[in-house]
Amino acid sequence: MAKAIHSMIRVRDEKKSVDFYRLALGLEVAARLDFETFTLIYLSNEESEFELELTVNKDRSEPYALGDGYGHLALSVDDLDAEHQRAADAGLNPGKIVAFNRDGALLARFFFLVDPDGYKIEVLQRHGRYK
């Protein structure tokens, strides 16, 4: 059986991205592998073994075109309202909290953040399938 271990995104500014993910999601650097033309930074926390891999291509100066194929990363939290307030207090400009219903029942509550490179991050209340 396959096990999801990480997802990779390309970023331009290592410090800016690491600082954002630390502040926004409590992710810390688990490993940093520096190569001649690129650097890989693996971020994680104690909530999960899953990691976010940041790839910094050293010769890149212009923003990446995210195109229309990228969706979002999703993470779950125990207290969505508290995380939304924390993100707002930190100046991260969280989107509004949305309650998404299906067949008259709550499916999910969530908000979105946007990282320094424009990647969307969905923050979901732990509920139902979103654990």
43 and 2 part of one domain: yes
75 and 129 part of one domain: yes
Instruction: Please check whether residue 65 lies inside any domain of the structure.
Output: no
Instruction: Please check whether residue 15 lies inside any domain of the structure.
Output: yes
Residue 68's pLDDT is 83
Instruction: Please check whether residue 66 lies inside any domain of the structure.
Output: no
Q: What would the DSSP string read from start to end of 19-83?
A: HHHHHHH--EEEEEEE-SSEEEEEEEETTEEEEEEEEEETT--SPP--TTT---EEEEES-HHHH
Q: Is residue 117 pLDDT above 80, yes or no? A: yes
Q: Which structural domain, as residue segments, surrounds residue 30?
A: 1-59
pLDDT digits (tens, 9 = 90+) for 16-32: 999 999 999 999 999 99
The catalytic residue positions are 122
2 and 26 part of one domain: yes
- Binning pLDDT at 50, 70 and 90, where does residue 54 land? very high
Q: Which of 73, 76, 81 is nearest to 113 (CA)?
A: 73
87 and 121 part of one domain: yes
CATH number of the CATH domain containing 95 = 3.10.180.10
Q: Which two tokens stand for residue 12?
A: 């331009």
Q: How many domains does the chain have?
A: 2
Residue 38's pLDDT is 96
Instruction: Please check whether residue 64 lies inside any domain of the structure.
Output: no
Instruction: Please check whether residue 114 lies inside any domain of the structure.
Output: yes
